[in-house]
Chain A
Amino acid sequence: MLGRTLREVSVALKQGQITPTELCRKCLSRIQRTKFLNAYITVSEEVALKQAEESEKRYKNGRSLGDLDGIPVAVKDNFSTSGIETTCASNMLKGYIPPFNATVVQKLLDQGALLLGKTNLDEFAMGSGSTDGAFGPVKNPWSFSKQYREQKREQRRPKLHREREGTDWLIAGGSSGGSAAAVSALTCFAALGSDTGGSTRNPAAHCGLVGFKPSYGLVSRHGLIPLVNSMDVPGILTRCVDDTAIVLGVLAGHDPKDSTTVQDPVKPFTLPSLTDVSKLCIGIPKEYLVPELSSEIRSLWSKAADLFESAGAKVIEVSLPHTSYSIVCYHVLCTSEVASNMARFDGLEYGHRCDVSVSTEAMYAATRREGFNDVVRGRILSGNFFLLKENYENYFIKAQKVRRLIANDFVNVFNSGVDILLTPTTLSEAVPFLEFIKEDNRTRSAQDDIFTQAVNMAGLPAVSVPAALSAQGLPVGLQFIGRAFCDQKLLTVARWFEQQVQFPVLQLQGLMDDCSSAFENEKLASVSLKQ
């Protein structure tokens, strides 16, 4: 049951094959048994069970709210949840309990979804590995998968039979690694992440999931604790594209509390079945073919392009000439906004407060030093530097101009007849944690965000779809990028692709004895991709 898609489970609930409470208990039990992944910071068991009870009443009375009623979901811990601790994986917000729900959380709850808990992340969403949070790193469930372990055995690597507490586990990607691990390990059917430079798409690719970044302005950011206000969006992680469409249909739309959401009414999302791709034009940006890209992914990218071509689509090479400037531009703008957004954490109104009471200034300094990790403090310092009067013109204004050029690159390509761009999501498959931490957060972010962050600067929709398993048995995703506010079209194409590749489901070792058995998993492979 847990391995099913959201839509399938929803049908099962409606047909009475399982009750919300039973489903909820299964998921909670699964969370307990996958605790070693460290995907969750807070498990809101009581809340979830109460919600399940109410959902059950509704189903009994034949008055269920919709496709999400009774569906267990998880939410990244940078979304405000009323009455439930929201930490952003930072000491600064340990113990902070918001008095309100983020709009997207409220929308899920209004549709009857069950909130299982808050997932782990890089502190304040800064990072690409979910390794730099105050509650420890997230482990990629695929580290313990049958697929990965078997490959390792074949290659006769040392350290074969590691315990789950071992040290050769892989990163989940970031910064929404907890949400990705939670969905990937079958503890829930969908999870909210956030995406500022790729933070939903990156972990999705590493965990074999669909990771969707909507157009900026489509989904409300009210209640999402911001990293970069002009680039952040709530992201959706699910096991198939159709599930993402269901969730997006609930979340999208104008929010009066968020002045950056568009006011045009949003039509409900039903993805049409795409059978004929001959009218489609796929663009392959040549600047994305970088030497650091693993040969495996390069070849997969090429195969995907061939797939479209042989199905009748037009596949052409395109150019996004300012791509090479985007990482520095992103760095300047991101750190500047971070410096500004973090100014509110002073220990006075909420959150951590130090014991120093010599003076207000001393209190600020100590509170902020204790509350923030090095990554956050480093970005604040950089950002403040760029915002200084003497530097503003040369750094911030310059970066904004370059940002405009980058956004125009995409506009020009889409205006020339291209419908969708196809690119890699990551440079390689998930790497072992010990290898990942050899470089610092800033270096890693700069490397890992390379295919994803230009999209945030341009405010476009993008989705990472799992394409295949690598030679090591690990998931590799590919990214589709669409025109602004053409999210529906983007997901339609993504779903077609998903149906062609039939990506296998994670088979977690040692958890075969419960309901989500290998039998069910295999059944899923053929069932989920059909409608």
Chain B
Amino acid sequence: MAAPMLRGVSPVRRWSLAWVDGGSRHRRTSPNGSTSNRIREQSSVAQQPLHTAQKPRKGGHKWAAVVGLEIHAQISSNSKLFSGSQVSFTAPPNSLVSFFDASLPGTLPVLNRRCVEAAVMTGLALNCRINKKSLFDRKHYFYADLPAGYQITQQRLPIAANGSLSYGVFVGNRWSHMATKTVRIKQIQLEQDSGKSLHDDLRSQTLIDLNRAGVGLLEVVMEPDLSCGEEAAAVVKELQLILQALGTSQANMAEGQLRVDANISVHHPGEPLGIRTEVKNLNSIRFLARAIDHEIQRQINELESGGEILNETRSFDPKLGCTVPMRDKEGKQDYRFMPEPNLPPLVLYDTASLPAGADSQQVINIDQIRDALPELPSATRKRLVQQYGMLPEHSFALLNEAGLLQFFQNVMKETRAEPKKVTSWVLNTLLGYLKHHNLAVSESPITPSALAGLLDLLDSKAISSSAAKQQV
């Protein structure tokens, strides 16, 4: 997976850096990124002048960008949020639709316990306050993939609020130095996913697939604490790892299991915040960072040339490498929020407040869920650093590639070689090889045992380093 942290560690092909620019680095003049003269992505279509900035232009104003993310994660569960139909991503169209999903009149929502647990787990992992009472609401709008004409969500009182997510970014020039930053989590709410629309322009029709309608989503709303694409990418990556570690979402962006919307505005430091735009359709971490940086630059350009920013929704076109206004979001929608009358308030308990003789099938104990939380990525990385003495950047790199940590640990089990050696081989040689051949860790022709054996040979000086590398 493309991630900024890889840059410093492996002499890999620059495919992972493509989203930044053609090769030059960007820099910040201060830790909180108050000035970010972005280096624009050079696209093949639109040739824009490069704004390389070592320092603010003479007489020019500094610009600060403000980025807030709203992330929708599909909950990993057997059935949907309010109905018993199955959740699966590769079924024939309209084959996983219950009467409730199709909005047949007279059907009622029934809350899925697993989805609530997933929300509590995620809220705890993000240091949120879990609301012991939360409410469900209807958000109304007409769209073909929303059969009921409203979405059930949690607008008034969500299940979790006031949390934080820590993430790592490279600072300064040296890509080997990491700093920890924090983004505040405003709230986490449970809501329904919509169906899918497939536009058939040839026949002037739209095909609707309701398989996805009603699947449970966790919406994670973050405060606008970010300032650039790199930070956003790091945040999203970390959230992905957390969700995957918890098992609450597979969080695969390409499959639509994790969707990110970014709210972006620019302003001069000290002045009020600017008008913001919303950028949607960001379905990879790479695009997400590019889109945000592009939009920031677009807004700066617009304002510097005397134009104004419209409060609109834009979509990222990866081919063009820029954001374009989305046509069908016209005017401001009034969603006419109303309490969902068919769902009583959701009440959660902890060990202290659990009523005596309560049926365990019918209640959720927050303390129990907290005790059963698996190890989170940040704890894993800390442990790796402590256990193996590796650099923090390396611990990030190990976790960022799916399956790589497991591979590393398997090698460690079987080899006598020093952790530092193993780390270097795994992150540089092995990973380099895999990337070069476009392979996932799971497809690696070299097994952990094989690498362990090789490292033992190296360790005992039976073979030379270059010979070993050739073997790989």
Q: Footprint of B on A, CB under 8 Å?
A: 79-80, 88, 93, 98-100, 102, 221-226, 228-230, 256-260, 263, 336-337, 339-340, 342-346, 348-350, 360-361, 364, 384, 387-389, 392, 396
Contacts and interface: CB of A to CB of B under 8 A. Distances in A.
B107 A259 contact: no
Given A340-B138, A348-B147, A349-B102, A221 B108 contact: yes
Contact of B338 (A99, A344, A396): A396
A389 B155 CA distance: 13
A340 to B, nearest CB: 6
Interface string B137-156: 01010101001111000000
A224 B106 contact: yes
B257 interface: no
A342 B103 CA distance: 11
B380 interface: no
B357 interface: no
Nearest to B205: A357
- In order of increasing CB-CB distance, the 3 nearest A-B pairs are A343-B149, A387-B336, A229-B341
A223 B107 CA distance: 6
Given A343-B140, A348-B147, A337 B341 contact: yes
A348 B208 contact: yes
Contact of B147 (A230, A349, A387): A349
Contacts of A344: 103, 105, 147-149
B336 A384 contact: yes
Contacts of A349: 102-104, 147
Contacts, number: 97
Interface string B58-81: 000000000000000000000000
Given A222-B106, A229-B342, A344-B105, 19 more contacts: A222-B107, A223-B107, A225-B105, A257-B110, A258-B108, A259-B108, A260-B341, A260-B342, A340-B336, A342-B149, A343-B142, A344-B103, A344-B147, A348-B147, A349-B102, A349-B104, A360-B144, A361-B142, A387-B337
Interface residues of B, number: 30
Nearest to B97: A349
A257 B104 CA distance: 14
B445 interface: no
A396 to B, nearest CB: 7
B337 A350 contact: no
A392 B337 contact: yes
5 contacts: A259-B109, A340-B338, A343-B150, A361-B142, A389-B336
Given A80-B106, A346-B149, A388 B142 contact: no
B344 interface: yes
**Most chain B C-beta atoms within 10 Å of own C-beta, residue among A79, A88, A259:** A259
B110 A259 contact: yes
A293 to B, nearest CB: 32
Interface of B: 99, 102-111, 138, 140, 142, 144, 147-150, 206, 208, 334, 336-338, 341-344, 362
Contacts of A361: 142
Nearest to B150: A343
Contacts of A225: 105-106
B380 to A, nearest CB: 39
A389 B140 CA distance: 12
Contacts of A388: 334, 336
Contact of B142 (A258, A337, A364): A364
Contacts of A337: 338, 341
Contacts of A260: 108, 341-342, 344
B99 A100 contact: yes
User: Chain A binding site: helix, strand, loop or mixed by DSSP?
Assistant: loop
A209 to B, nearest CB: 25
A361 B99 CA distance: 24
A319 B53 CA distance: 78
Contacts of A396: 338
A343 B342 contact: no
Nearest to B100: A257
A384 B141 CA distance: 11
Contacts of A346: 142, 144, 147, 149
Given A223-B106, A344-B147, A339 B336 contact: yes
A392 B138 CA distance: 13
A263 B363 CA distance: 13
Nearest to A80: B106
A353 to B, nearest CB: 12
A67 B103 CA distance: 35
A340 B150 contact: yes
A398 to B, nearest CB: 14
Contacts of B148: 343-344
Contact of A259 (B104, B111, B337): B111
Contacts of B337: 387, 392
B343 A259 contact: yes
Contacts of B102: 349-350
A222 B108 contact: yes
A80 B105 contact: yes
A508 to B, nearest CB: 34
A83 to B, nearest CB: 14
A215 to B, nearest CB: 15
A175 B360 CA distance: 42
Contacts of B344: 259-260
B108 A340 contact: no
A93 B103 CA distance: 14
Contact of B104 (A88, A336, A350): A350
A135 to B, nearest CB: 18
Contacts of B338: 336-337, 340, 387, 396
Nearest to B83: A257
Contacts of B342: 229, 258-260
A104 B198 CA distance: 39
A348 B208 CA distance: 10
Nearest to A263: B362
A178 B63 CA distance: 71
Contacts of B104: 80, 98-100, 349-350
A387 B343 CA distance: 19
A344 B109 CA distance: 14
**Most chain A C-beta atoms within 10 Å of own C-beta, residue among B142, B336, B338:** B336
A224 B108 CA distance: 10
B362 to A, nearest CB: 8
A99 B99 contact: yes
A489 B105 CA distance: 34
Nearest to A229: B341
A303 to B, nearest CB: 40
A123 to B, nearest CB: 13
Contact of A340 (B105, B140, B334): B140
A230 B334 CA distance: 23
Contacts of A340: 138, 140, 149-150, 336, 338
Contacts of B149: 340, 342-344, 346
Contacts of B103: 344, 349
Contacts of B208: 348
B206 A360 contact: yes
Nearest to A396: B338
A364 to B, nearest CB: 6
Contacts of A221: 106, 108
Contacts of B109: 259
A102 B106 contact: yes
A389 B147 contact: no
B109 to A, nearest CB: 7
A218 to B, nearest CB: 15
A259 B344 CA distance: 7
Contacts of B341: 228-230, 260, 337
Contacts of A229: 341-342
Nearest to A364: B142
Contacts of B334: 388-389
A13 B354 CA distance: 51
Contacts of A102: 106
A98 B99 CA distance: 9
A257 B105 CA distance: 14
**Most chain B C-beta atoms within 10 Å of own C-beta, residue among A222, A349, A389:** A349
